[in-house]
Amino acid sequence: MSTSDLAPHNQVTVLQDGYSYEDSGNESHMRANCTSTLIRCRDGTNVIVDTMTAWDGEHLKTLLQGQGLEPKDIHVVVCTHGHSDHIGCNYLFQTARMHLVGACASNRDLYLDHFGSGDEAEELALDSNKEVLVRRTPGHTLSCVSVIVTNSQLGGTVGITGDLFERQEDIDDDSIWRNAGSEDAKRQVEERSKMAEVCDFIVPGHGPMFPVNATVRSKLKIQIK
Q: Closer to Zn ion at the Cβ: 51 or 151? A: 51
From the CB of 76, what's the least distance to Zn ion, in Å?
A: 20
Nearer to Zn ion, 41 or 78 (CB): 78
Q: Which amino acid is at 74?
A: I
**Three-state SS sequence of the chain:** CCHHHCCCCEEEEEEECCEEEECCCCCCCEEEECCEEEEECCCCCEEEECCCCCCCHHHHHHHHHCCCCCHHHCCEEEECCCCHHHHCCHHHCCCCCEEEECCEEEECCEECCCCCCCCCCCEEECCCCCCEEEEECCCCCCCCEEEEECCECCCCCEEEEECCCCCHHHHCCCHHHHHCCCCCHHHHHHHHHHHHHHCCEEEECCCCCEECCHHHHHHHHHCCC
Cβ at position 129, least distance to Zn ion in Å: 29
Provide, rounded to whole angstroms, the least separation between the CB of residue 193 and Zn ion: 20
For residue 177, the minimal CB distance to Zn ion (Å) is 10
Please report how close the Cβ of residue 80 comes to Zn ion at its closest, in angstroms.
8
Binding site for Zn ion (CB under 5 A): 163, 205
Within 13 Å, how many C-alpha atoms sit on residue 8's CB side?
3
Taking the complex as a whole, how short is the minimal distance between the CB of residue 18 and Zn ion, in angstroms? Answer: 7
Identify which of residues 182 and 193 has a Cβ nearer to Zn ion in the complex. 182
Q: Between residues 163 and 170, which has the closer beta carbon with respect to Zn ion?
A: 163
